[in-house]
Amino acid sequence: MHECCGIFGVNSPNEDVARLTFFALFALQHRGQESAGIATADGRKIRLSADMGLVSQVFDEDSLSQLTGQIAIGHSRYSTRGSSRKINVQPMIVGKGSNTLAIAHNGNIVNDAYLYEELLEQGYPFHTSTDTEVIANLIISSPEKRWVDKIRYAMHRLQGAYSLTLMTKQNLFAVRDPWGVRPLCLGAINGGWAVASESCALDHIGADFIREIEPGEIVAISESGVDSYREETGRKALCIFEYIYFARPDSVINGRLLYPARQAMGAGLAEEHPVDADLVMGVPDSATAAGIGYANRSDIPFCEGLLKNRYVGRTFIEPDQRIRDLDVKLKFNPLPQMLEGKRLVVVDDSIVRGTTTPKVVNLLRRAGVKEIHMRICAPPIRYPCFLGVDMATRQELIAARKTIPEIRDFIGADSLGYLSIEGLIKAVALPRDTFCMACFTGDYPMPVQLEMDKLALETMLATQERRFGIRQR
Query: If binding is defined by CB under 6 A, does position 189 make contact with ligand SF4?
Result: no
How far, CA to CA in Å, does 100 sit from each of 54, 306, 473? 27, 49, 28
Cβ proximity to ligand SF4: between 158 and 306 the closer is 158
Residue 390: which of 316, 468, 314, 311 has the closest Cα? 314
What is the rounded distance in angstroms from the CA atom of residue 55 to the CA atom of residue 61? 13
Sheet of 225-229, strands arranged across: 92-96, 99-109, 160-167, 172-176, 218-222, 225-229
- 64 contacts 23 by C-beta, under 8 angstroms: no
| Positions 204 through 243 that interact with ligand SF4 (CB under 6 A) | 239-241
Which residue, 218 or 438, is less far from ligand SF4 as judged by CB?
A: 438
Q: What CA–CA distance (Å, rounded) separates 20 from 256? A: 26
Contact 28, 15 (CB under 8 A): no
* Shortest separation between residue 108's beta carbon and ligand SF4, angstroms: 9
Q: Indicate which single residue of 207, 389, 398, 419 sits in contact with ligand SF4 (rule: CB under 6 A).
A: 389
- In sequence order, what are the residues at sequence separation of 6 or more whose Cβ sits closer than 8 angstroms to the Cβ of residue 163? 7, 105, 106, 107, 174, 175, 176, 177, 181, 182, 183, 184, 197, 213
- Which range binds ligand SF4 by CB under 6 A, 135-143, 196-204, 336-344, 432-440? 432-440
The site that binds ligand SF4 (CB under 6 A) totals a number of residues, namely 11
Angle among Cα 36, 18, 73 to the nearest 5 degrees reads 60
Contact 116, 460 (CB under 8 A): yes
> Does the footprint of ligand SF4 cover residue 110 (CB under 6 A)?
no
The nearer residue to ligand SF4, 94 or 385, going by C-beta atoms, is 385
Q: How many CB atoms lie within 10 A of CB 403?
A: 10
Neighbours of 184 (CB within 10 A): 27
Query: Is 102 near ligand SF4 (CB under 6 A)?
Result: no
The residue (of 261 and 436) whose beta carbon lies closer to ligand SF4 is: 436
Shortest Cβ 452–ligand SF4 spacing (Å): 18
Nearer to ligand SF4, 261 or 439 (CB): 439
**Nearer to ligand SF4 among residue 110 and residue 346 (C-beta):** 110
Candidates 79-87, 185-193, 423-431, 437-445; binding stretch for ligand SF4 (CB under 6 A) = 437-445
Q: Of 436, 460, 461, 470, which one interacts with ligand SF4 (CB under 6 A)?
A: 436
Q: In the complex, what is the shortest distance from the CB of residue 454 to ligand SF4, in angstroms, rounded to a whole number?
A: 16
Residues known to be catalytic: 5
Does 387 engage in binding with ligand SF4 (CB under 6 A)? yes
Query: What is d(CA 6, CA 163) in angstroms, rounded to the nearest whole number?
Result: 9
Q: Which residues fall within 8 angstroms of residue 239, CB to CB, at 6 or more apart? A: 161, 181, 182, 246, 387, 388, 389, 435, 436
Amino acid at 355: T
38 near ligand SF4, rule: CB under 6 A:
no
Rounded distance between C-alpha atoms, residue 64 and residue 66, angstroms: 5
In degrees, rounded to 5, the angle at the alpha carbon of residue 202 between the alpha carbons of residues 227 and 5 is: 90
Question: Would you count residue 392 as binding ligand SF4 (CB under 6 A)?
Answer: no
Q: What is the pattern of x (binds ligand SF4, CB under 6 A) and - over residues 330-369?
A: ----------------------------------------
The stretch among 117-125, 228-236, 436-444, 446-454 that binds ligand SF4 (CB under 6 A) is 436-444
Nearer to ligand SF4, 238 or 300 (CB): 238
* Cα 213 from Cα 206, distance rounded (Å): 19
Minimum CB distance to ligand SF4, residue 294 (Å): 22
Q: Phi/psi of residue 326, each to 5°?
A: -70, -30
| 244 counts as binding ligand SF4 under rule CB under 6 A | no
Contacting ligand SF4 within 168-187 (CB under 6 A): 181
Indicate whether 437 belongs to the interface with ligand SF4 (CB under 6 A): yes
Stretches 89-97, 172-180, 328-336, 381-389: which one binds ligand SF4 (CB under 6 A)? 381-389
User: How far is residue 6's CA from residue 4's CA, in Å, rounded to a whole number?
Assistant: 7
Subset of 300-319 contacting ligand SF4 (CB under 6 A): none
- Selected range binding ligand SF4 among 144-152, 195-203, 272-280, 384-392, rule: CB under 6 A: 384-392
Rule CB under 6 A: is residue 438 a binding residue for ligand SF4? yes
DSSP letter at 125 equals -
Using rule CB under 6 A, residue 385 touches ligand SF4: yes
Give the residues lining the site for ligand SF4 (CB under 6 A): 181, 239-241, 385, 387, 389, 436-439
